[in-house]
Amino acid sequence: MSLKSVKEIEKNLSELELLVDKAQFDAEVMRVYKKNVIKMNVPGFRKGKAPKSIIEKMYGSAVFYDETLDNIIPKIYEEAVKAAGIDVVSRPEMEVVSIDVNGVLLKAKVYTKPIAEVSKYKGLEVTREKVEVTEDDINSEIEAVRKRNSRVLTVTDRAVIDGDEAVIDFEGFVDGVAFEGGKAEKHPLKIGSNSFIPGFEQQIIGKSVGDEFDVVVTFPEDYGSENLSGKEAVFKIKLHEIKKTELPELDDEFVKDVSEFNTVDEYKADLTKKITERKEKLAENTLEEHLIDELLANVTVDVPEPMIESEIDSFVKDYEYRLGSQGGSLDLYFQYTGMTMEKLRESFKPQAERQLKTRLTLEKIVELENITPTEEDLEAEYVKIASGYNVDIETVKKSISAENLGADVVLRKAVDFVKENADIK
């Protein structure tokens, strides 16, 4: 047995004393010697033939100790943690206390998984948003579909009006001198987008194709360029083209083109159903967030810093993966935003701490209510995962053990339990 003693030196921080038997240590030292002697030059001996005692005399008695301990410690540490019956959440801080005739005495400081103290988890009071689908909701959905199916037409019989796209050349001057970045050709400008300096777009309204004219504006005081802030500028404009966006009429023909329905009424009924489902899901998610807020307000748990840091590591890896899937990287993100790894990790800390507290709390409720996963629960979750990733269910079962899956399933059941026993208004 490698574990000599275990004691809690402060909350969630334990110290283990581990003893490596001298015979075990000496045997590993000999193995390390045999592995390394071939690389050691000792005067008077052929390479690889110098006795261990001569090498130790020449290089010091501890010459093989570091590698020996690196080889031994992982196994004896794992045995000690198992024997101590503790749930470790950090890497060990290892100290070699002594190496003598009794063997090797080690001390390992480790943070252990905290236990949440839940004062109340039944009868929590929360409010669920009432779901209503309005005509505006339906019209907004339809308008978005109409815009996606719109067409752009060139206008030849009138001047520019609000909402048009004006294709223009422009060059800007301050005190009669052209300034950098103030010139473009055949630039498409959506009138009413407010994407240019205030007052610029309005002065194009009423102009016709071929017109050349000046637009006079004043740069805002808080403009990004100091040499332009608050200055009056004159832009020389030439209008090349006017375009307008034409939306399709909302009629049965349009409905047939964009959906599997034949009439506007059928289409609106389906939209109502889908919007209702979406709002119901959002309301349910919001309810659960509020429920967790109420639950955590009734919980006492000190999460060790190494546990939080480990959770932040996962957040950073996930963020890096998502950036990569979009063709980016953390380095580029830091370069363009001025963010640093330190700031990014700090921004994730509140979320990481909340997630850990939530999990620890739900695990405590699982214990208190003796919540277990049924075969039906596990099978349903396997089906859900297989469907979500579009893979065979047997492949999922091979990659995720029932034990690991069950640990997540019971947390979901704990949330459901809290919800079922809440006072929801």
Domains belonging to the chain, first-starting first, are 3-112 (3.30.70.1050), 151-246 (3.10.50.40), 258-424 (1.10.3120.10)
Strand, coil or helix: 422: coil
- pLDDT class for 165, splitting at 50, 70, 90? very high
CA distance linking residue 416 with residue 408, whole number of Å: 13
Amino acid in the structure at residue 116: A
Residue 179 makes CB contacts below 8 A (sequence gap 6+) with 172, 173, 227, 228, 233
Q: What is the dihedral of CA 25, 29, 30, 31, to 10 degrees?
A: 100
CA distances for 191 relative to 148, 167, 253, angstroms: 19, 10, 31
* pLDDT for residue 1: 55
Write the DSSP string, 34-46: HHHGGG---TTS-
Residue 215 has pLDDT above 80, yes or no: yes
pLDDT, tens digit (0-9, with 9 covering 90-100), for 328-357: 899 988 888 888 999 999 999 999 999 999
- Mean pLDDT, all residues of the chain: 92
CA distance linking residue 367 with residue 358, whole number of Å: 14
* pLDDT for residue 414: 95
3-state helix, strand, coil in the chain (%, to 5): 50, 20, 30
What average pLDDT score do residues 64-74 get?
92
What average pLDDT score do residues 309-323 get?
94
264 within 8 A of 216, measured Cβ to Cβ: no
What average pLDDT score do residues 362-367 get?
96
What average pLDDT score do residues 42-66 get?
87
* pLDDT for residue 344: 94
What average pLDDT score do residues 291-316 get?
95
